[in-house]
Amino acid sequence: MADLPTLPNALAAITVLALNGYVLLGGADFGGGVWDLFASGPRRAAQRALIAHAIGPIWEANHVWLIVVIVLLFTCFPPAFAALATTLHIPLTLMLLGIVLRGSAFTFRAYGGEGDLVQARWGVVFAVASTATPVVLGMCLGPLAAGAVVLPGQGRGFVEVFVAPWLTPFALGVGFLTLALFAFLAAVYLTLESDDPALREDFRRRALGAAAAVFVTAFGTLGLAVAGAPRMAAGLVRSVWSLPLHVAAGVAALTAIGALWTRHFGTARVAAAAQVSLILWGWAFAQYPYLVPETITIQAAAAPPVTLRLVAWVLLAGAVVLFPSLFYLFRVFKGSGAVAPGAARGGEHV
């Protein structure tokens, strides 16, 4: 660990921070699409209206974090970016298609009258794409965590290099864990998007159900990691940081569930975000020092020092513009006065 304070490590950590931001914000948007798909009961229309109200003003801005991740990878760690973009191009393309379909459908379904057939069809596309894309995202991370990425020239055929690494039980487990985490975040966040007690109860129950799904998929994926990603499993169980991290994640999970149970929704939101963040950083720590286990390390993939220094300065300058802008955006659309229309009238859809 003596080599931790280096510029490549710092930029790699910022990349994970940006991914963390995308998971907490963009991931919750995907989770909202999941609950749009499973909207039910007498308040089904009101649930979907609340989801659209919560996502609408900010969903495009939340993609800035994914853009930062991609730019940092291809600028600061080009060999790793090239390897991942080449060998995982099929699931990455599927993920990109899901993102595009989801965003387009979310926009197009806003046109048309109440009950319009075209609007309903775009709603289905939005919900299905929101549910499938997190699974594919997890299936991109699965082979990376497992060290199963086969570089071109190392495999014996198209299937072995470009298909087999991400179609494994462990990769599928990571995919479903990602879906459960996004759905959990969305349900917890949505409890604070309305002042209608009935709608809050709807999403409180969904959040508790999603918390159970996170528990099942997390332990199931850890079990699959023993055979499918032994290095990752060892890092998550035997490292010096593993026990404190697991304890912290467990405390955050219990706090989130307890806060949901007692209807302290603000506390539940903070605890849920902490739980998901700790799970993500557990993966990052277990993989260190590799960007592509077991072939490409952070130091080996790093661009020339002058490039890294320039990127660091650009990040600093960009942060001066980005963070105040995002703060203002969320202040306007997520402030105390930004309550879903019609929420105070019994969940009526307007």
Inside any domain, residue 144: yes
Residue 338 pLDDT greater than 70, yes or no: no
Inside any domain, residue 330: no
> Can you name the residues that pair with 292 across neighbouring β-strands?
296
Inside any domain, residue 56: yes
Q: What are the C-alpha distances in Å from 191 to residues 102, 188, 218, 243, 260?
A: 23, 6, 24, 31, 9
Inside any domain, residue 164: yes
Could you give the residue ranges of the DSSP H alpha helices within the chain?
7-21, 27-37, 44-55, 64-76, 78-87, 89-108, 117-146, 158, 169-190, 197-228, 230-238, 242-261, 265-287, 298-301, 305-334
pLDDT in tens, 185-225: 999 999 999 889 999 999 999 999 999 999 999 999 988 98
What the block records as the tokens of 214 is: 């996170």
Residue 329 pLDDT greater than 50, yes or no: yes
State the pLDDT at residue 152. Answer: 61
State the pLDDT at residue 76. Answer: 96
Inside any domain, residue 349: no
Give the domain CATH number at 189: 1.20.1630
More confident residue, 130 or 118: 130
How many structural domains does the chain have? Answer: 1
pLDDT in tens, 270-305: 999 999 999 999 999 888 999 988 889 999 999 999
pLDDT in tens, 135-194: 999 999 989 888 888 766 665 678 888 888 899 999 999 999 999 999 999 999 999 998
Q: Which residues form the domain of 90?
A: 9-322
Inside any domain, residue 120: yes
Residue 4 pLDDT greater than 80, yes or no: no
Separation of alpha carbons 250 and 185, rounded Å: 16
Stretch among 142-146, 262-266, 274-278, 316-320 having the lowest mean pLDDT? 142-146
With cut-offs at 50, 70 and 90, classify the pLDDT of residue 115: low
Inside any domain, residue 249: yes
Inside any domain, residue 207: yes
pLDDT in tens, 35-68: 999 998 899 989 998 998 888 777 888 889 999 9
All residues at 6 or more sequence positions from 160 whose CB lies less than 8 Å from its CB, including other chains: 150
